Amino acid sequence: MSGGVDCPVGGQVGLLSSESDGRRLREAFLVLILYVVSMVAFALLHPIQEWPDAGVHISRSCLGDVSFPPRDLLAALGQDVCGVSFNENLSGEFKFFSDRSIHSDPHAVNPIWAYILLPVSCVAMLFGFILISGSRDRVGNHLIFAPPLAFYLANVNPEVFGHFFVIGAYFVMRTRPRLALLLTVVATAIDRSHVCSMFMLMLIYFFAAARTWVFVCVVGGVLLMYLVRMMGLLDILDLLALVFDSVSVLGITGKDILFNAEFGGRGYAALFASVAGLYGAMSYRPVLWFLYYALFFGLFFLGYALSDHRERRVFWLCATAVLSIMILLPPLSQARFYPILILSMWSMAVRGGRWFGIPALQLQILFFSWTMFTLVLANLNRIAES
């Protein structure tokens, strides 16, 4: 009798496991599709001059100094990197949340949009790598769709390829922390901006299991130092400038420290706005932005309250890394420098949606649709104004 009972139960468990794996694969494939469609739409419709540092990288590609955007590949497809013209700024002083482009761009469709073929291929390989490595991040969450992350992966900038190594590192950190740190070193070799992510993952690795009082002291100390720095009471920048002039670190000089400190004002506002969904060179915001940000941050705070101590600790370690960096270099306040922070906050927002009974995929599709509508409408308005 026992054998007759055991076989059906074992078969049922195997069937349930198979169904769960199949559902997870379908969900992962749909998330991949959301990333691909978003990245292609951004590459096609986002004004070429609005991409962060686009002029620098396109000009250097034309001269043969950098390999991305790929001049020869685009030329084979009939797209001329050297033919992209950059106009002067339309406004003397940029205003945050102005909802207006700071450049005059005559192109309805980006003239070198085919560069996106390489990042799209990389995002497909990233999904395969994540699935093979276990499909879960440091705290056990699956990779989700986050529109700001899709935007940064579609940037006309070699740094996007470092993002793939950083995200891959975060998803193997739970089981292979040394490999994760090695991947962030590779990312930093691609672009020095990824030292922010390397520092972030180092904090997560060394302090995630630390005693509570150690964690609180480290995080609280950095928060206090940042507040003191913002109030102008932390007068150590001249000393730091001398240090960076004496020791070469990622090419940063003392002049960079002082210059960025002077012009790095409202970094915290730019950071959280770009984590939630502000696109371009800090000029475009989502349609009905007050509803968009109210929904996202409302879900985020609810998700934070529902999260366990591991997820909260990762979030605060991400925030600690961000603030530590911004004390030195305040302009490093766009979320593109901190993809792990994006994933942490968006995972909490998805968790907040589940509390209302909204399935994770449906919530991601909602933000996907909102992002696409914003992008198309902004492009149409820009064409009409031209």
What is the full DSSP assignment across 20-42? Answer: HHHHHHHHHHHHHHHHHHHHHHH
Of residues 237 and 55, more confidently modeled: 55
* Section 94-117 average pLDDT: 69
On whether the CB atoms of residues 195 and 321 are closer than 8 A, the answer is no
Q: In whole angstroms, what is the distance from residue 304 CA to residue 272 CA? A: 15
In 3D, which of 192, 149, 148 has the Cα closest to residue 170?
Answer: 149
Of residues 258 and 83, more confidently modeled: 83
* Section 349-376 average pLDDT: 90
Residue 17, pLDDT above cutoff 70: no
Give the pLDDT confidence score for residue 3 in this predicted structure. 41
Q: Which residue has the tokens 């020869």?
A: 72
- Of 39-43, 47-51, 73-77, 351-355, minimum mean pLDDT range: 47-51
Give the pLDDT confidence score for residue 9 in this predicted structure. 44
> pTM of the predicted model, to two decimals?
0.83
Integer CA distances (angstroms), 77 to 41, 114, 319, 373, in order: 18, 8, 42, 28
Domain ranges (residues) in the chain: 25-95+109-385
- Of 10-24, 133-147, 211-225, 365-379, minimum mean pLDDT range: 10-24
Q: In whole angstroms, what is the distance from residue 110 CA to residue 320 CA? A: 37
Token pair of 165, please? Answer: 């190594």
Token pair of 334, please? Answer: 């766009």
Query: Whole-number mean pLDDT of the chain?
Result: 79
Of residues 167 and 284, more confidently modeled: 167
pLDDT digits (tens, 9 = 90+) for 140-193: 888 899 999 999 999 888 889 999 999 999 998 888 888 888 999 999 988 888
